[in-house]
Structures are given as structure tokens and as C-alpha cells.
Structure 1
Amino acid sequence: MFQTLNKTIYKAFGHSIQSDIPLPELQQIDDPNESVDIVIRYADLTAKWLEHSDSSRTSVCTETMVMFRVPDLAIFAVENGTIIYISPENGADEDKMRLYILGTCMGAILLQRKILPLHGSAVVIDHKAYAFVGHSGHGKSTLASAFLQQGYQLVTDDVIAITLDHRNIPYVTPAYPQQKLWQESLDVFGMSSNQFRPLFERETKYAVPVESYFSSDTLPLAGIFELIKTDCNQVQIRAVDKLERLPLLYRHTYRKSLLSDCGLTKWHFDMTARMSGSIDIYQLQRPLNEPTVHQLTDMVLHAIGK
């Protein structure tokens, strides 16, 4: 734990965070005496990067450290699940650095803390969390947004942080009240992009605040829905059998490339094996170029008995 010097403290993924760089996406903690779990600091990582890397590598990973360089932006180092160092290039854009801090860096923090990060979104239905996972562009955030349009609450978007209790029941810890939606998704819901901030270098993807639809409660994870775009003619749903579940959970683990070098392969297998027997898992197939989000919403609700 760290003691802060009267700086802003944020809350995300069940942890308190103090940061040298403002993180307006996150919820603030008003108590100045709050102890801090994770700190984000500016530092000069040039010598450390040269010591550990070579010209052919863009990242370095050990059991206690993940370090990577984004050309023309910054070097990032994540250590021991407690600290993120940022070494910016001259003229580095703060918005773009925040994307990496709240994305890859936070994913590494969760892994170092042995919290499973899945790539997807999760919503609250009947006081339980349901997750939507899938590859980029397959409609995870759009489906979650459709549930928000119906009055349900968001738990997390992009990274789903999962822990297990002593009974092997998985729980989802809330992230922060923001979604990332493509222009096509905004069009489906009749939302104007003029009121939202475009994500850096992604002029057709926007940061959409959802404070009034955000759940700050840690909730049991009751089900996972994998979204897949195929050349099928209509939406389809099927239950995922037990032999398919571990590959599915591995496939959608956020920054899974870090597992081996961080010495987490066995932990990941054990954790996913334990949780896979405690939840329902489905696969949702959808046509490639048709708007099917409202059909998918109905399918999800029917599958869970709503």
C-alpha cells in the first residue's frame, strides 16, 4: 500500500489508483487519506529499456515486470501489480497514453495480481453479471449498449476483471463508467457523435460516458456469451460444451500473450478450469453485415430465462 500526497485518487477494478496523469474516465475517491493500491508515475525509463530490450523487440516480460515501447509515444513499465511507470516521448499525446494506461497496462496489473482479465463488456441482469466476449469489431460493446438502452446497468467495458471466491464462484469487479462505441453503433441507437470525444487516432470510435447506467457493485458472473460474426443467414445461439470452454476463455483473455513469459500459464489454466464449471457459456453467431443487436438482446434474455 502507498500513502498519497493529497493527489487525486481514483477507483477502478476494485482498486484505488493515484496517478501523475489525470484519468477523467475513472471515478474519484473523495477521501484524501485513502490508502492507494496502484500508483501511476512519470519516470525516465530510457536506460532500463536499453538494458532489457534489443532492436527486434517491442516488449519485455518477466514474472514481476511488463515493459513495452510505443514508438513516438512512450515507454511503459508495469511492476509487481502495484505501479505503472510512463516515460513519454517529446510531444506525446496524453489522450493516447491514457488508452495504453487503461488498456494494456491495466491488463498487466490485473494479471500480476492474478485477477483474470477477459476482453469484453459486462452488464447487470437480476443482480448478476453477464459478459459479452469476442474479437474486436464483433459487437461486444454494442450489445452491452443495447442492454443499457433497455435500462440495465454496465459493469465494465473492454476489460472484465474476474476473481474467484472459495466456492469457485467468479465475481466481476466494476471498471469505470464509459463505453467505447463505433460510429455504426451510435447510428443504430440514434446517437449523435458530436456529443462524444473521439478516441485518439480512431476517428470513428468514441468515448461514451454512462454514469447513470453504471453499477459500482461487485457481482457474481452468471454467464458468458461469445459473439462471432459468420456468413450465416440469421442469428444463432448454442450452448458451449465443457471441452470448448477452456479454449474459449483462453481465446478471450485480455493480453494473453503475456501469460507465458509472466509465468502465469498454469495459474490461468487452473483459474479458468475452476470457473468454467460455475457459469453458463453460450456462443452467439451473427451475420457479417446485418444489424442484429436487438435480436441478440432477445436471445440473451431468453437464454437466461428472462
Structure 2
Amino acid sequence: MLFRAYTLTIDSDIDLQLPKGEGKADIIIEKARFSAGKQFQTQIYRKGVRAKFGGVGNTTMLDWEGIARFKALLGNRLEYEKMTNDEGVFRLFALSEALGMVLFQRNLFLLHGSAVKIGEQATIFIGRPGAGKSTTVSAFAQRDYPILSDDLTAVWFDEKGNPYVLPAFPELKIWENTVNNLGFDKTQLQPAFEGHNKFLYQQPIANFPRDPVPLQQIIILQRPYSKQAGAVKLTQSPVELFPHFPLPSRLLEGNSLQRHFEDCIRLRRAVPIVKVPRPKNFTLLKRWVEQWPMSF
């Protein structure tokens, strides 16, 4: 089956429930058998299970014990071993950091954050756990702004060094508290299979971009009363963006670390990166989104 995500055509032997793809496959996802090899603990948790990482370079692996094991190869292949019978849970894991490893091998710049299309440009929201990323982008989704990515954002640079967000797929995971306070119709939502009180919001495919969207800015969300606000300097950009790398930190070694550092600088040269305290409640958040675009 052919699907489309991150502007790439994916040929998968499992139903990813994504928009249909066409043409020659850029990435193949299929079942295989492979040994785990030497593994290391990561900072990645899903459904309360901590992922283990193995491999180097163009052959890397993520293993969630009892759920699934994935191997990314050469930027064009994702192999898997499935231990769960829950197709929704498996899909969640396949489309998260597992696919992210393949995107990283394709030299894309990755951030743990969400991107929204506002007008003809994209804004990326990042922040530490609890900063309000998912709640913020949910407020944009409620006002029918296209959400380009949820959790994993991929940035591509053209030959002139201009950054673009690659649209992932038209869905968003939303906390139950956010659903209730922003006025989403819960009967129209699906379970998100995260093991938390989260729901899956499906956006209209007709409104979802197919092509890369020019990046306008990156917002680093701070807690409401944080005094850390303002533009990030060029020299600070690698330090500010490193904590938001969504994959195992062991991937950032040698040439990969140098490339990531240079991309942080290139990104900051092209667009502003700004620290912004998020609104302190849902009422102010709604007003904040209504008043967009804003100057920081």
C-alpha cells in the first residue's frame, strides 16, 4: 500500500491510515526478522515503555520491549518485528521515532515539536515537557489552521539554505483536558493509543498541504510566568535546540553532530527563534490564537 507523509511516498505492508501516495516509493516499511545486538537506554518513552537503541550510521534500531522493534536502513527502509496485536498501538510506534530514524538518515533536521501553517508559512512550537506544545497547537487546530506535524517536525533546506517544514500527516493527539476546555466534539475523536487521556483529532485531508511549507519562525514555549523571553542569539541556537532533538542522543556523534550543529546555525540565520511565555489559561490561549499573527 502506498501512503504519503513528509512529502515522501511510503510503501508499507501495514495500513498506516495516511493519505494515499503515488509513484515510486521513497521509503519501504515491511516485516523482517533481525537480532537486537548491543543496545542502550534512551530518553524516549511511549505508553510508559522506555525504548532501547542500537546500531550506527545508516543502520539503527529502536526496541520497545513487548511492543515492537524497528530497524532503519540507508534512509529508505524501515523493517519491523511486531510483538503487540493492537494495530492502533503499533501504528503509533511506527509513525513516531521509528520513522524519524529514516528521516534523520535522509539528512532532514528534526525537532520534537509541532508545526502549524499560518497563512502561507509555518510556525514551529517547541518546549520542554509541560510547556504546552500540544495544547497550543490544539487551539490552532480548533480554529481550522492546518497542523503540519505533531511531536515530530522535519525541516528541509533548499539549495539557498531556506528552511521548509515537510507536512507529516493530518492528525493531532490532544489531551482530554484540552478537548474539554477548547470545545472539541469528543464524539468525533478517536483514542490515541498512548496510554494517557489523549484523543486523536483527524484534520480534513483536503486542507492538508502536500508540498513543503516555508518556515517563518520557531517559538520556544516557556511557562506562563517565566522571565526567559525574547529572541535567541545566533550563537545560542545550538544550545537551545539540542534539547529538542527527538531521537536517541547517541545519533548525534561525529559527522552527524557537526551537521546538526551547522543546521542549528543555518536555521537561526534564516528565521527568528523566540522564547515566549505561553498563556496561563485556556481563555487567554484562545484570545492569543485569535490575535495571531503576533509580534515577539
TM-score calculated relative to the size of structure 2: 0.87
Whether 1:44 aligns to 2:12 is no
SS in 1 for 2:197: strand
Q: When the two structures are aligned, how many residues end up with a matched partner?
A: 285
Opposite residue 74 of structure 1, the aligned amino acid is A
Is 1:15 matched with 2:4? no
1:158 paired residue number: 151
Q: 1:244 to 1:256 in 2, by over 3 A?
A: farther
Q: In 1, Cα distance between the equivalents of 2:111 and 2:252?
A: 16
Question: Which amino acid in 2 is paired with 1:77?
Answer: K
* Alignment correspondent of 1:70: 64
Partner of 1:53: 38
Once the two structures are overlaid, the 10-residue window that deviates more, 9-18 or 244-253, is 244-253
Residue number among 172, 183, 187 corresponding to 2:180 in the alignment: 187
Q: Is 1:113 matched up with 2:98?
A: no
Q: Give the Cα separation in 2 of the matches to 1:72 and 1:43.
A: 16
Residues 92-125 of structure 1: CA distance to partner in whole angstroms, max 9, x if unpaired?
3222221121111111111111001111111222
Query: In the alignment, does 2:284 pair up with 1:290?
Result: no
CA contact (8 A) 2:40 2:53 kept: no
- Which letter maps to 1:120? G
Distance 1:159 1:62 in 2: 21
Structure 2 CA distance for aligned equivalents of residues 256 and 60 of structure 1: 10
Cα distance in structure 1, aligned partners of 2:63 and 2:162:
37
* Alignment-derived partner of residue 48 in structure 2: none
Aligned residues of 2:122 and 2:214 also touching (Cα < 8 A): yes
Select between 150-159 and 63-72 the one with higher mean Cα deviation: 150-159
| Gap change, CA 1:261 and 1:244, over 3 Å in 2 | closer
CA distance 1:213–1:134, change in 2 (3 Å) = farther
The equivalent residue for 1:3 is none
Find out whether 1:270 has 2:262 as its counterpart: yes
Tell me the SS of whatever aligns to 2:89.
Answer: helix
Partner of 1:93: 86
The answer for the alignment partner of 2:45 in structure 1 is none
Report SS of the residue matched to 2:278.
strand
Question: Displacement, 1:132?
Answer: 0.8
Question: Could you say what secondary structure the match of 1:146 adopts?
Answer: helix
Choose which of 239, 246, 264 in structure 1 pairs with 2:238. Answer: 246
1:216 paired with 2:201, answer: no
Structure 1 residue 54 displacement after superposition:
6.0
For 2:209 and 2:39, the matched residues in 1 are separated by 44
- CA positional deviation for 1:265: 0.4
Shift of 1:166: 2.2
For residues 280 and 112 of structure 1, the distance between their equivalents in structure 2, rounded to whole angstroms, comes to 26
**1:260–1:236 CA distance, 2 compared to 1 (3 A):** closer
Q: In 2 relative to 1, CA 96–254 (structure 1 residues): closer, same or farther, beyond 3 Å?
A: same
Aligned pairs (5 A) from 1:230-245: 232=225, 237-245=229-237
Structure 1 residue 141: Cα displacement: 2.7
Structure of greater Rg: 1
Shift of 1:226: 0.8
Shift of 1:214: 2.4
Cα gap change, 1:193 to 1:171, in 2 (>3 Å): same
Q: 1:70 to 1:41 in 2, by over 3 A?
A: same
Q: Give, in whole Å, the separation in 1 of the partners of 2:142 and 2:194.
A: 27
Whether contact under 8 Å (2:27, 2:75) holds in the other structure is yes
**Percent of counterpart pairs with the same letter?**
28
Higher deviation after alignment, 271-280 or 151-160: 151-160
Residues 1:262 and 1:202: Cα distance change in structure 2 (over 3 Å)? farther
Letter in 2 for 1:290: N
